[in-house]
Amino acid sequence: MSVMVAPATAIADKNMPDTEGHFGQYGGRYVPETLVYPLQQLEDEYARAQTDLEFQRELSYYLREFCGRPTPLYFAERLTRELGGAKIYLKREDLLHTGAHKINNAIGQILLAKRMGKTRIIAETGAGQHGVATATVSAMFGMKCVIYMGAVDCKRQELNVYRMKMLGAEVVPVQAGQKTLKEAVNEAMRDWVTNVRTTHYILGTAYGAHPYPVMVRNFHRIIGDEARRQILEKEERLPDLLIACVGGGSNAIGLFYPFLDDPTVRMLGVEAGGEGILPEKHAARFQGGSLGVLQGTRSYILQDEFGQIQQTHSVSAGLDYAAVGPEHAWLRDQGRVDYSYATDQKALEAFMRLARLEGIIPALESSHAVAAAIERAPSFSRDSLIIINLSGRGDKDVMQVAQKVGLHMPA
């Protein structure tokens, strides 16, 4: 993690995307013709829902009563003391029902699916948190649910596979390619193209064809809206730095977006550095990637000289993905958000450290954000404030981490 956080003076244009889903040169709608009209219908329905008070009321009701919002903004006292720098707050998305921020978007999208008269739900999942959230809301609303998940991810996030099955979803292990998140998205898109009249695709991150990136961001902005209000209540001032992990980038954009107009608030997105920035050993698109078009949108992707998508690696299934959400690419170009990475090793250390110091077991994805905070907090003064988005809890990772840290685990 060597990228410096630049002083934040730039104000990014919050009026993005444009009407066709572009964030500057990023975003858009690069899909086979069969999906264009269904995406336009989704865009129109979403626009209607945004101004429909009844929809908004229903959404807030479920977010409050079913999901458990608002989530606390918790002062991590021992971590702060030990690092000896900035005061660290944790936005506790891990306390939401199903265990991660993903439910914010899943609830929003299933209410849209209901409005559109869809009866069948599909989704992709990497770590399984989006799959569990989708299976959960499908169960709630009595809809048939199919989740596509890479076969490698099924194995490393087994707990979540069982949870989805218990919730009544069919889990389809995807055997193509490297058998992780990217292949699960391909398979979900194939299903959607085939069953588009009856089926809504609850895409789980701020990625894909318009309107998904903007819609998913808006369903998650409640994270930042709450955090902003909470920090003003507790500290009577805005934070100096926000930190979140970035796979597709939904939890990060959810936290960042409501602070974009606050010039003193700096932001850091943390990608998966895997085993280091070498081809096929990481998933840090801003480190080793280049501009490309994949799975419906234009953004930074990991690809070879001919445009074939490269393999990725991360200890964290949720960050192990070859592309990053288009709005992140845009915010990076604007100099509004900085992006760094944490290696597998640093994430594992952060996982253990948060557990031991705060009694909170974070998801491996969120551990990347914690790792970045551990690195940076000491260089901040004691009166400065950092908010980490603790996007999910680590129950799903317990077996994997136990094996990985093995002998290194303190007795």
The residues of the shown chain that bind other proteins, judged by CB under 8 A, are: 20, 28-38, 176-177, 182-183, 185-186, 189-190, 193-197, 291-296, 298, 301, 303, 305-309
Catalytic residues: 102, 124, 391
* b (16+ CB within 10 A) / e for 44-64: ebbeebeeeeebeeebeebbe
Distance (Å, whole) CA 331 – CA 206 = 13
Peptide bond into 326 cis (omega under 30): no
Distance (Å, whole) CA 113 – CA 101 = 20
Got the DSSP string for 95-148?
GSGGGBTHHHHHHHHHHHHHHTT--EEEEEESSSHHHHHHHHHHHHTT-EEEEE
Give the SS3 label for residue 297.
Answer: strand
What end-to-end distance do the CA atoms of the chain give, in Å? 29
- Cβ contact 221:250 at 8 Å: no
Residue 281: phi, psi to the nearest 5? Answer: -110, 0
Amino acid sitting at position 341: Y
Residue 356: phi, psi to the nearest 5? Answer: -75, -35
- Cβ contact 346:319 at 8 Å: no
